[in-house]
Structure 1
Amino acid sequence: MKLKTLTLLLLIGFTSLIVKAQNSKFNKIQELEGIEEYLYTPNGMKVLLVQDNSAPVVTVQIVYRVGSKHEVTGNTGSTHLLEHLNFKGTPTFNKRNGNAIFNVLQGIGAQMNATTWNDRTNYYETIPSDKLELALHIESDRMRNSLLLKEDKDAEMTVVRNEFERGENNPNSLLNKEIWATAYMAHPYHHSTIGWRADIENMPIETLREFYNTYYWPNNATLTIIGDFQKTTLFKLVDKYFGKITRAPHNMPQPYTTEPAQLGPRRTIIKKPGQQGMLTVGYKIPGRMHEDLPALTVLSQIIGNGQSSLLSKSFINTGLAYFGSAQASNFKEAGLFTMSLGFAPTANHDDLYASLLNMVEKIKKEGVLQEDINRIVAKLNAQTILSRDGSGSIASQINEAIAGGDWTDYINKSNRLSKVTTQDVKRVANTYLIEDQSTTGYFIPKTLGKNTPNDLKASNVIPDNNDKYFYRNPKHIHDNCINETKPNQLSQKAVTQIASAYETIEASKSGEKFIRKNIENIDLVTAKTGAKGFLTISASFPIGDYLNTNGNEMTPYLTTQMLNKGTIKNNKLQFSQKLEKLGVQLNISAETQNVNISFKCLKKDLNTVINLLAEELRYPLFDKKEFDLLKQQTVGQMKQGLTDPSSQGKIKLSQAIYPKGHPNYLTDTQTSIDNLNSVTLQEIKTFHKTYFGNAGLRMVAVGDVDTKTLYAALKKAFKGWNGGVKGLAKYTEPTKENGLTKVISIPQKPSAEMFIGQYTGIKRTDKDFMPFYIGTSILGGGFSGRLMQTVRDNDGLTYSIVANHTGHSNTGGYWFVNASFNPTLFQKGLDATMVQIKKWISHGITSDELASKKTNITGSFKVGLSTTSGLAGTILAFLERGLEPSYIDKYPKDVEAVTVKQVNASIKKHINLDQLIIIKSGSLDNNGAPLK
């Protein structure tokens, strides 16, 4: 017995020695606000840890200190192309083995991707914490073992080139690239991260391998782990997978080129077809960690952010511009302070430029008010806290701080901002906003643009005259049970409180996770989670049969947009400043059948924000001057859609499927503009009086919820508010018609859009919905979908191709496939897509595909509930469909219950090759061939 005891003690002692030996490899450098920094001594890799074990979710991120600034002429775009190729696999994880990186991670429900920027490249995945070892295995493997095969590069080159071409379709993106290329002539910030087209097309695989072997080493990386882990176990796993990798056998080469002195103002002009002029002025500024950056950041907010900004007062509110913005970049070495305006094509660029310079000179001479600085700093600090909603968002912000030179700026940035004074702002304005050190860019629409649809076969063409359109979010964000809201991003002093919103719901004494109560006739659901100091509120109310009353379909949109233009208690500026200093954005928008409301605020500000929300909803000013200005600005921005291949393609697809008046029917852009122009202020007032009220108002509050405070605030703010309607309008559903092909010719667009669609009639409540939804996701849902694996990964024909089913919340939905192609590859892309669609219909899916997709959907659903925004949006979607919040627990069971037979039967039942509608939109002629 004594021998056994001695043996056990020896084993324990030996194990303890091993653990100590492993832990000794991790030298703790510092700890700040719950973030621990370690140096992994065997190879020099830095490790950041943020531990929170309250929910089984963890984010793994690895940041390489290499970006496009490390490239030179001939290999621009190397960093970005390498990012793509690092998903192609290693000897352990690859498509040929049946365990490609995307497939493996999506199979466990991961939210993952990678991004490239000037100073860094990062790879990340938010996953169930029991899969932490898998994530570390993948990240360590592709650090040194990426295959980097020529055939993969050749296929991916055209993918990246298509991504480049999509950016060239966007005037703002195009102008921004030209501004940087003109401002920085020598420094490598000169070239954009995606690279120049010729380099993308011609870069040898040997160049990429050399670049990879130069920079992808542990001593050039920071591994960040946020969420549910045990430190001892984590150290063991890091040692297991990264301990095999040595330091780089060379010093890490860094760019040494500095920008020569600029000897006068520079100008660049772009002339392309378009509907909107643009002006951007950029001034050279220092990098993120420079002592002047906080003041420059505050100045950019005063100039160009919000209703009280100088650009709003001088240009937008006066009708000279449709929109304006200002920004101070946060790159490591240098940057630009930019001011931008978008305006009518007929406006005089030089006059606007002169007015902009006069505004700058006034700032330099008179400075700004301390009260404006205080408001901006309060807003930025509140937004910093509110943005940290979930481990993925925290990882993203730490990533940018690492890239900027010091991860501690993630914590210290708010303190730096709080020290800014009026003297600082005036000084930086006079130091950096110098005309001789400026670069000005003009986007001048060469023509007003025109596109004409050409029917190749149109057995069910719908004439364009008298079309109806409802200005709404075309993505139908509440259509799927899975919340589609992007995770927003915890308390500055409680950075470790990053737990999954759903997993940390505090149950009531009776064991209920959700409390549902009627407050002032508002159907209110609350859930108190592990979030500290903030909460998210999502709400909606129906507008019933409005679209069936021959009312102007642009009226709901204009009504909601007028709400923030002032109330009878506060004018526009006063109201916006009250919200601004709280860091709160009240989002109120109209969709087909609902008005949607959402905001996120600090717990301490809830009563104030509820009062402001009630004031905006109940007592809008509806000023005539503001109404006319809103219409003018909206028309200007809507005109951009006339030359956008994606917008025009979506419109024509909807018109080919649905009759006018149906919620899913989109009116052509010009008719929408005509409808908007005809709306009167009285129609806005009548609509508001009729449809705004608490009759059908649903509200969800998630986070650090104090129900006593919330109930009292709602009772006071909404007391006596009546009106509104209940229920949703009924619509006549279309019937399936013969297929057709339609071409929309839009000249000088380097990327064309393909839409293939068909009416299914499936509603979200139908028994066929879940099988068909899963089947569609297997065809084109994410990187592991068949279409991405073939048309993108194998053939290299597109940057993105997706299949989706939408428009099904309260009406019969439709199925579609969408991709972008270079016009010269359009027919090849269409043919490759049809091969997969035909195979999907005729052969269906396999049991292995179904099992993998089920894991993906349920895992993604779980991860999507990890933020207060995601949880609130999902619950609201349930309420709108007549479901209880507890359906969250039933949803995964509904997914698991689906069989292969059900999926394949639903595909054959609802998709008919003879009824497919094909839309080709872009620089294509009547026959779909590339325009010369």
Structure 2
Amino acid sequence: MNSRLVLTLCMILSCGPLTAQAHSLKPVTSVEGITEYRLPNGLQLLLAPDDAKPSTTVNMTYRVGSKHENYGETGMAHLLEHLIFKGSPKTPDPWAEFSRRGLQANGSTWFDRTNYFASFAANDANLKWYLQWQADAMVNSFIARRHLDTEMTVVRNEMEKGENDAESVSTQRVLAAMYQWHNYGKDTIGARADIENVDIKRLQDFYRLHYQADNATLTVSGKFKPEQVLNWVEQSFGKLPKSKQPRPKLYTLDATQDGERLLTVRRVGGKPLSIAAYHVPPGGHPDYAAIELLNLILSEAPSGRLHKRLVEDSKLAASVHNFGLALAEPGFTMLIAEAAPGASQNELNRELATVVEGFASQPVTAQELRRAQTRWLNRWEQSFSSPEEVGVTLSETIAQGDWRLYFLLRDRVKALKLDDVQRVATERFVPANRTLAQYIPTDKPLRAPAPAALDLAAQMQGFKPQPAAPAVAAFNASPAHIDAQTQRSELANGMRLALLPKPSRGQTVQGVITLRLGSEQALFRKQSVAQLTAAMLSKGTQALNREELRDALDAARVEIAISAPRADQVSVVWSSKREHAAASLALVSDILRRPRLEPAMLEEVRTQALAALQAQADDPQGVANRALAIAMDHYPRGDARHARSFEEELADLKAVTLAEVQAFHATLYGGQQAQLALVGDFEASELQVSAAQLLGDWRSTGAYQYLTQSVSTAPGSVQLLATPDKANATLLGMLQLPMTDAHADRPALMMANHLLGGASNSRLWVRIREQEGLSYGVGSGLRFDARDAVTELWVYGIYAPENRVKLEAALREEFARALKEGFSPREVKQGQQALLSERRLALAQDEQLSATLASNAELGRTLAKTQELNIALENLTAEQVNSALRRHFKLADFSIVFAGDFK
């Protein structure tokens, strides 16, 4: 339940008998597979059926956010979002119900709207139950004083978490400076005084005013039966009355900004930042499409103007990015630069503003426009291909006034002309419209166009929907069926392939290549060399420079991510389309086999790594993570498995040379110990041939030796680490157990962890989060390894530093209670339903499935192991769970770190 637009999908529940009755709802309009209905009470309903994945997403959007709060009410919309999950007389504990039924659910609050969403493995009973819950929550939620008292501290903890983040704090201060009167200048989380002193009756009145059927849009996407859902919606929501109290019409607009505004934020820690912010039109305005593309033209690597000037040429910045939103009323865009270590802040400020406001002297080029359009449209298509994303993303255009803006903005981006983009750039990116760092008097200020109310109906008159995408056939995501459809083979060099052709929305293809490389000797003192080598892979190939490579990826509709989680492992994950499947594989192959590895690129990735390291060193979570890893470490300095201190990693990063990087790639990268997995809409025989031609002869010259891991022998310990001037603190603890994922206790330990701290109705969550309000996030986790006898059990929590003693006491008491009392058969039964539902949903997500197939290819496994584990989970008894719990869960053996400002 973040104040930021964080779309964390969580899942749903089970209910009573299903009924089918005739409904009276008629379509209002339909756009590209999404059909709108309207109930007599005003509720807007959007149905987006898609059988490609066996999952369903339900999203309820209310047209109320921080914009609608009056004096003394800041944070009220967000606080109300929290209290909705405190239940109603019919459902007194929604989180327990969600977890019991395998629901992944959450909510979020933003400037113009609040939404509540859930995704789950397609199930009629769960869908009907969740629709009934949403209808009940709309009018019958408790919104009680007793819940406010505990939840207010949780919200305050969430506020303090945001206060730890330098960029979050800085962007909020920028918005406060940009807006004199409009509520977009107030952070959604609200003022501390308002949150702590909120009047319960005022909050209840706010709820009754805004949580009404005619102020809401219900969206259902994914796999479901439309006629059945129409019946259920009419049954659940149709009986709700139309609101009788009119909601006030909002009309506040800020005047045109009349000069540069400057501010400075000073805090301990964090990365130096420079932010140039500008007022922009509403999301429904015709000019907003140009703003979207100008953000890419300015900030996107490698061709972005800011990236070239600040990162590559002047080395003033470690990285640049943008933060801009399509809002219902005149909004903002921010261009943000993270200063390179040692760079001049004043010079960075000047260069940032100069480049952003330089379109008058250096107009937008046709190539810049074409690149930005291609990239933006590719990302839009990727989003539209996902039922989960579409179902939740529509909240933003609903909040702007018309859900069809989702498609109209795409059409406007497609149709943009160079002259229009140039006009918007020179109107909006001017000194008088800038908020940065200082005020400068100007005789003849050049001002942006005055904000004006938007006639959205007029904007929509010329809108012509495109044809809906064809329906996609349903896919059986059971382990046995996936195994039967997966084509497994091995290339000449030993690379293992797992290809799963299946229907997908938008004809998408998900790919994964994992490499295992090196040996203990070859990787000695090479942790940072491995890290920077992987970071440089996407910066150009021998045949294509960085810009040409980015253009080629865009042309093939490829989104790619490269990571090196360990020194001996590299992972490439990408998505593309059926028509570009072979081309995308060729590009990935070229990136891996023939990277450019130039000096300038090494310095860029080194600067970014140093900046990230600096940020971790000041952050409680970063400090706790590092300290915990060191506490569990038993490998010597230089070993690739050694947990380095901040100082050791800093020295290693600075010492890496280009020759080391080039030698590392030339010697250790190869396909002998690699796996390729593809899932989605493609021709398997074609990609089998392509893989053989592109990768079948790729071999490393260096020997490979798997780096085994062993259990730490360090005794249990507790550390208190100081992170000055941080409003939020972090708890992390870990215990290592000598077992692999084949251990007989695995199913029971998974269930014990789920019930203790792995779910939203777990013992730790209910006690620490729900009852005592000590932490915004608390829980436990469990990770098994397939090869090494090292299983990691961890606990975590974020909290206000003054609550550390209470948090630790509650944690120890709940561990002791679980060991003494155990878990009841009822708890275990509910946990089985939830865990099995989560595991089924994971197999319905192509990206997760491709990663699983790649991992199984490395291990020589099939999904039969997955099915065996599912069966074992299904047959667990409470006695087995409690026996495993008592054998292995000993809090005294944990290494625990508390990091925060405890003064």
Q: 1:408 aligns with which of 389, 404, 411?
A: 404
Cα separation, 1, equivalents of 2:807 and 2:763: 14
Q: Counterpart of 2:541 in structure 1: which amino acid?
A: T
Q: SS of the residue aligned with 2:527?
A: coil
Shift of 1:497: 4.9
Q: 1:810/1:547 Cα in 2 relative to 1: closer, same or farther (>3 Å)?
A: farther
Residue 127 (structure 2) pairs with residue 145 (structure 1): no
Tell me the amino acid that sits aligned with residue 518 of structure 1.
E
CA contact 2:49–2:223 (8 Å) conserved in 1: yes
Letter in 2 for 1:110: L
SS in 2 for 1:802: strand
Q: Deviations over 1:360-381 (max 9, x none)?
A: 3331333111122112212221
Deviation per residue, 1:828-864 (Å, 9 max, x gap): 1111121111112222222111111111111011122
**Cα distance change on mapping 1:40 and 1:89 into 2, 3 Å:** same
The DSSP-based 3-state class of the residue aligned with 1:363 is coil
Q: 1: CA distance between counterparts of 2:784 and 2:127?
A: 37
- Structure 1 stretch 815-824 or stretch 791-800: which is displaced more? 815-824
Counterpart of 1:279 (choices 262, 274, 280) is: 274
Matches of 2:578 and 2:348, distance apart in 1? 42
Q: Does 1:702 align with 2:696?
A: no
Partner residue in 2 for 1:29: 28
Name the residue aligned to 2:373: 377
State TM-score, norm by structure 2: 0.90
CA separation of 1:566 and 1:47: change in aligned 2, threshold 3 A:
same
Query: Within the alignment, does 1:40 sit opposite 2:39 as a pair?
Result: yes
Amino acid across the alignment from 1:381: L
Give the deviation of 1:507 after TM superposition. Answer: 6.9
d(CA) in 2 for partners of 1:409, 1:53: 25
2:767 is equivalent to residue 790 of structure 1:
yes
| Pair 1:122-2:112 in alignment | no
Deviations 1:635-676 (A, max 9, x none): 122111111100111121222223135877532222111112
Is the contact between residue 517 and residue 670 of structure 2 (CA under 8 Å) also seen in structure 1? no
Q: Where in structure 2 are the equivalents of 1:243-254 lying within 5 Å?
A: 243-254=238-249
The answer for the alignment partner of 2:3 in structure 1 is: none
Q: Which stretch shows the higher mean deviation, 795-804 or 895-904?
A: 895-904
Give the match for residue 16 of structure 2: none
The code of the aligned residue for 2:725 comes to Q
Question: Is the contact made by 2:156 and 2:195 (CA closer than 8 Å) also made in structure 1?
Answer: yes
Kindly state the Cα deviation for residue 590 of structure 1 after the two structures are TM-superposed. 1.1
Separation of aligned partners in 1, 2:747 and 2:95: 23
Deviation string 1:357-406 (CA, Å, 9 cap, x unpaired) is 22133313331111221122122212222223442212122222212222
Distance in 1 of aligned mates of 2:42 and 2:646: 57
Match of 2:576 among 582, 601, 611: 601
SS at match of 2:559: coil
CA contact (8 A) 1:113 1:124 kept: yes
State the match for 1:615 in structure 2.
590
Q: 1:691, CA displacement in angstroms?
A: 2.4
How far did residue 492 of structure 1 move?
Answer: 8.6
Report the residue type matching 1:770 in the other structure. Answer: P
Q: Distance in 2 between matches of 1:110 and 1:251?
A: 35
Q: Which amino acid letter does the alignment assign opposite residue 125 of structure 1?
A: A
**TM-score in terms of structure 1 length:** 0.87
Q: How much has 1:87 moved relative to structure 2?
A: 0.6
Are the structure 2 counterparts of residues 772 and 547 from structure 1 closer, same or farther at C-alpha, using a change threshold of 3 Å? farther
Q: Which residue of 2 aligns with 1:332?
A: 328
Q: Report whether the alignment pairs 1:530 with 2:503.
A: yes
Kept after mapping to 2: 8 A contact 1:66/1:121: yes
Matched position secondary structure for 1:591: strand
Equivalent position SS for 1:260: coil
Matches of 1:106 and 1:84 in 2, distance apart?
A: 17
Tell me, in whole angstroms, the C-alpha distance in 1 between the residues paired with 2:180 and 2:473: 46
Matched, 1:51 2:46: no
Match of residue 363 from structure 2 = 367
| Letter of the 1:908 counterpart | R
> Does the Cα contact within 8 Å between 1:275 and 1:345 map onto a contact in 2?
no
1:424-447 per-position Cα deviation (integer Å, ceiling 9, x unaligned): 1110011111211211159xxxxx
Whether contact under 8 Å (2:51, 2:472) holds in the other structure is no
CA shift, 1:301, in A, is 0.4
Q: CA deviation at 1:500?
A: 7.1
Match of 1:900 in 2: 878
Partner of 1:716: 693
Change in CA separation of 1:418 and 1:73 when aligned onto 2, cut-off 3 Å: same
Check whether the contact 2:341–2:607 (CA below 8 A) recurs between aligned residues: no
How far apart, in 1, do the equivalents of 2:151 and 2:471 lie? 39
Q: Distance in 1 between matches of 2:220 and 2:895?
A: 46
1:845 matches 2:829 = no
Structure 1 counterpart of 2:106, from 86, 106, 113 = 113
- The alpha-carbon deviation at position 123 of structure 1 amounts to 0.9
The residue type paired with residue 65 of structure 1 is R
Question: Residues 103-161 of structure 1, C-alpha deviation per residue, up to 9 Å, x if partnerless?
Answer: 21222222211111111111111233222110111000000000111111110000010
The 1:199/1:372 distance shift into structure 2, 3 A limit, reads same
- Percent identical among aligned pairs is 26
Evaluate the alpha carbon distance shift between residue 506 and residue 429 of structure 1 in structure 2; reply closer, same or farther with a 3 A threshold.
farther
Equivalent in the alignment of 1:230? 225
Q: Which moved more, 1:880-889 or 1:84-93?
A: 880-889
Query: What is the CA–CA distance in structure 1 between the aligned matches of 2:820 and 2:631, rounded to whole Å?
Result: 25
Aligned with 2:195 (options 190, 195, 200): 200
Query: CA separation in 2, counterparts of 1:361 and 1:241?
Result: 53
Give the whole-Å Cα distance in 2 for the aligned partners of 1:320 and 1:861: 46
Q: Residue 317 of structure 1: SS of its match in structure 2? A: helix
Deviations for 1:667-720, whole angstroms, at most 9, x for unmatched residues?
A: 222211111222222322232223211101111111102113312322332253
User: What letter is aligned with 2:219?
Assistant: T
Give 3-state SS (helix, strand or coil) of 1:342's partner.
Answer: strand
Residue in structure 1 matched with residue 95 of structure 2 by the alignment:
102
Which residue does the alignment assign to 1:298?
293
Shift of 1:919: 1.2
Q: Is 2:617–2:623's contact at 8 Å kept on the other side of the alignment?
A: yes
Quick one: distance in 1 between partners of 2:896 and 2:479? 46
Q: Tell whether 2:519 aligns with 1:513.
A: no
Once the two structures are superposed, residues 264-293 of structure 1 have per-residue CA deviations (whole angstroms, 9 ceiling, x without a partner) of: 111121011125210101110111110001
Match of 2:529 in 1: 555
Unpaired runs of 5+ residues, structure 1, are: 1-17, 95-99, 443-490, 925-930
What is the Cα deviation at residue 334 of structure 1? 1.6
Q: Secondary structure at the match of 2:161?
A: helix
- The whole-number CA distance in structure 2 between the counterparts of 1:494 and 1:501 is 20
Shift of 1:355: 1.4
CA–CA distance in structure 1, aligned partners of residues 557 and 156 of structure 2: 39
Letter in 1 for 2:489: K
Which has the larger displacement, 361-370 or 74-83?
361-370
Q: State which of 635, 645, 658 in structure 1 corresponds to 2:610.
A: 635
In structure 2, which of residues 551, 568, 584 is the aligned counterpart of residue 577 of structure 1?
551
Quick one: which amino acid aligns to residue 569 of structure 1?
Answer: A
CA contact (8 A) 1:502 1:529 kept: no
Give CA deviations for 1:51-101 in whole Å, capped at 9, x if unaligned.
Answer: 23566532221111111100123111111111110011010001xxxxx21
Does the CA-based 8 Å contact 1:110-1:863 persist in structure 2? no
1:216-253 residue CA offsets vs partner (Å, 9 max, x unmatched): 00000111112333333222211221122101111122
SS at match of 1:373: helix
Residue 485 of structure 2 aligns to a residue whose secondary structure is coil
Distance 1:428 1:168 in 2: 34
Residue equivalent to 1:188:
183
CA distance in 1, matches of 2:368, 2:480: 40
Alignment partner, residue 780 of structure 2: 803
Conserved? CA contact 2:747–2:869, under 8 Å: no
Distance change in 2, residues 1:329/1:57 (3 Å): closer
Q: Distance in 1 between matches of 2:872 and 2:108?
A: 34
Q: CA RMSD in A?
A: 2.4
Q: Which amino acid aligns with 1:277?
A: P
